[in-house]
């Protein structure tokens, strides 16, 4: 196979993503200049928009929580050599699961409903990933194609359910009724308030702790368990895995179930933490941001955490930006997201070789 230049770890996980990010920002800056606005001013507005006040920090961390879930989802599948583009659909259906539990048991104690909702979110997300997983494992159908198709099917299914079945009677917009009081993931400002600390209200909620736990769990799973080892072997070399007595089929299915379950947790943050009802298109593209986050974070939970924070800041800063610059809005953030995917993913070899020779790392690199 191809033999990309080897980089020392700090460059692989720090310098290279940074160089890629700079390239993406540079092009975005050039486009903002082309539009006739000042890139520096836009940058400054974005940073203050994302971190300038307590509530904007809250929003940044709220978005980051979404992206940790979807980023981890992409990463787990990636370690098994699978490209799961279906995070968006899995998150959508996962949210349905969490939402149904919340609608049904919303009047019970949160100590029961919240864990139940999380479990349902994971379960539904995993179930939605099961079909593409099974097809890849048993029939060899390309997982990229089947996960894309399942995104569209999820979207059609959710539109049908919300418009025809779950809609609150007597209202126009396709949304369910509000969840009961027990089905609410407590907001961080409320929790801090109980300890006498005042923090401006924002949708930032305790699902972020779940996201941190998920990071840790994914790290332990991938690098410290037998299952994770099997997953990485299948990802690197499915044939070697067979000789080692690992079943690629089973591993693929397990990886995709975990991936779908992680994506499904997005519903916990968005619906139980913020919206308190099921509504149309609540994932809002977070499943695709997950691809950028995983690529930039080099599929490592720590990297994903950092990349998710960056994208959280970009999303929050981007929406603030449009108030001061009427000609620039959040579309610019989508553009940056695409550029990050391009540079960190598709064009990573372009910067890798010059960086490697620059660092002089090439000479001591062992052959792979």
Partner 1 sequence: MDAFRELILLLAATIRVATPLVLAALAGLFSERSGLIDLGLEGKMLAAAFASAAVSAVTGSAWLGLGAGIATATALALVIAFACVTHRGNQVVAAMAINIIVAGLGPALALAWFDQGGQTPQLEGPGQRFLGIAWPGTQLARRHPFPGLVYAELLSGHNLIVYLAAALVPASAWVLYRTRFGLRLRAVGENPLAVDTAGISVNALRYQASLISGVLCGVAGTYLSTAASAGFVRDMTAGKGYLALAALIFGKWRPYPTLFACLLFAFADAGAARLQGVALPVVGVIPVQFIIALPYILTILLLAGFVGEAVAPKAIGVPYSKEK
Minimum CB distance to partner 1 smaller for 178 or for 324: 324
Distance CA 93, CA 245 (A): 34
Residue 239 CB coordination number (10 Å):
9
CB of 131 to partner 1, least distance (A): 7
Structure tokens belonging to residue 302: 């720590």
Minimum CB distance to partner 1 smaller for 238 or for 338: 338
DSSP helix/strand/coil, 60 = helix
Minimum CB distance to partner 1 smaller for 152 or for 223: 152
347 scored as a contact of partner 1 (CB under 8 A)? yes
CB of 226 to partner 1, least distance (A): 28
Q: Draw the binding track, 151-190, toward partner 1 (x: CB under 8 A; -: no contact).
A: -xx--xx-xx--xx--------------------------
Q: Which stretch binds partner 1 (CB under 8 A): 49-57, 142-150, 184-192, 308-316?
A: 142-150
Residues 194, 186: contact at Cβ < 8 Å? no
280 scored as a contact of partner 1 (CB under 8 A)? no
342 scored as a contact of partner 1 (CB under 8 A)? yes
Minimum CB distance to partner 1 smaller for 60 or for 146: 146
Nearest alpha-carbon partner for 267 in 255, 278, 252: 278
35 scored as a contact of partner 1 (CB under 8 A)? yes
Residue 117 CB coordination number (10 Å):
28
**Residue position matching structure tokens 């001591």:** 364
Distance CA 295, CA 343 (A): 9
Under rule CB under 8 A, which residues in 286-305 are in contact with partner 1?
288, 291-292, 295
Kindly write down the DSSP assignment for every residue of 115-172, as one continuous string: HHHHHHHHHHHHHHHHHHHHIIIII---HHHHHHHHHHHHHHHHHHIIIIISSPTT-S
Minimum CB distance to partner 1 smaller for 101 or for 296: 296
Pick from 60, 251, 316, 337: which binds partner 1 (CB under 8 A)?
337
Distance CA 139, CA 35 (A): 49
334 scored as a contact of partner 1 (CB under 8 A)? yes
Minimum CB distance to partner 1 smaller for 34 or for 198: 34
CB of 127 to partner 1, least distance (A): 15
Looking at residue 279, what DSSP letter applies?
B
148 scored as a contact of partner 1 (CB under 8 A)? yes
Pick from 15, 31, 167, 212: which binds partner 1 (CB under 8 A)?
31
DSSP helix/strand/coil, 187 = strand
What separation in angstroms does the CA of 151 have from each of 4, 91, 132, 146, 176?
Answer: 33, 10, 11, 9, 21
Q: For residue 134, what are the contacts with CB-CB under 8 A and spacing of at least 6?
A: 253
Minimum CB distance to partner 1 smaller for 194 or for 367: 367
65 scored as a contact of partner 1 (CB under 8 A)? no
The residues that touch partner 1, with contacts defined as CB under 8 A, are 1-2, 31, 35-36, 83, 85, 131, 135, 139, 141-142, 144-146, 148-150, 152-153, 156-157, 159-160, 163-164, 288, 291-292, 295, 327-329, 331-339, 341-342, 345-350
């Amino acid at each position: 196979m191809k033999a990309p230049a080897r980089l020392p770890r700090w460059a692989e996980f720090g310098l290279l993503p940074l160089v890629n990010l700079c390239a993406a920002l540079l092009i975005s800056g050039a486009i903002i200049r082309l539009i006739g606005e000042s890139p520096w001013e836009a940058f400054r507005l974005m940073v203050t928009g994302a971190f300038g006040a307590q509530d904007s920090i809250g929003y940044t961390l709220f978005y980051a929580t979404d992206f940790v879930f979807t980023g981890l989802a992409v990463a787990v599948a990636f370690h098994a050599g699978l490209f799961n583009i279906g995070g968006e659909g899995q998150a959508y259906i996962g949210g349905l699961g969490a939402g149904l539990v919340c609608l049904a048991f919303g009047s019970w104690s949160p100590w029961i409903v919240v864990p139940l909702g999380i479990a349902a979110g994971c379960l539904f997300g995993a179930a939605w990933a099961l079909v593409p997983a099974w097809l890849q494992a048993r029939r060899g159908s390309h997982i990229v194609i089947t996960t894309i198709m399942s995104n569209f099917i999820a979207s059609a299914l959710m539109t049908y359910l919300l418009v025809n079945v779950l809609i609150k009677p007597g209202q126009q917009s396709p949304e369910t009724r509000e969840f009961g009081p027990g089905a609410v993931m407590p907001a961080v400002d409320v929790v801090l308030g109980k300890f006498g600390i005042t923090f401006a209200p924002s949708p930032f909620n305790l699902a972020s702790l779940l996201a941190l736990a998920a990071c840790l769990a994914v790290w332990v799973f991938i690098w410290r368990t037998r299952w994770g080892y099997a997953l990485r072997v299948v990802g690197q070399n499915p044939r070697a895995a067979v000789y080692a007595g690992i079943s690629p089929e089973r591993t693929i299915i397990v990886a995709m179930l975990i991936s779908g379950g992680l994506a499904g947790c997005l519903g916990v943050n968005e619906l139980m933490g913020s919206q308190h009802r099921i509504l149309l298109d609540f994932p809002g593209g977070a499943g695709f941001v997950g691809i950028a986050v995983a690529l930039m974070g080099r599929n490592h939970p720590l990297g994903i955490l950092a990349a998710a924070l960056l994208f959280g800041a970009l999303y929050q800063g981007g929406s603030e930006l449009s108030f001061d610059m009427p000609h620039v809005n959040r579309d610019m953030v989508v553009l940056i997201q695409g550029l990050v995917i391009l540079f960190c993913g598709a064009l990573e070899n372009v910067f890798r070789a010059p960086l490697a020779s620059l660092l002089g790392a090439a000479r001591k690199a062992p052959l792979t």
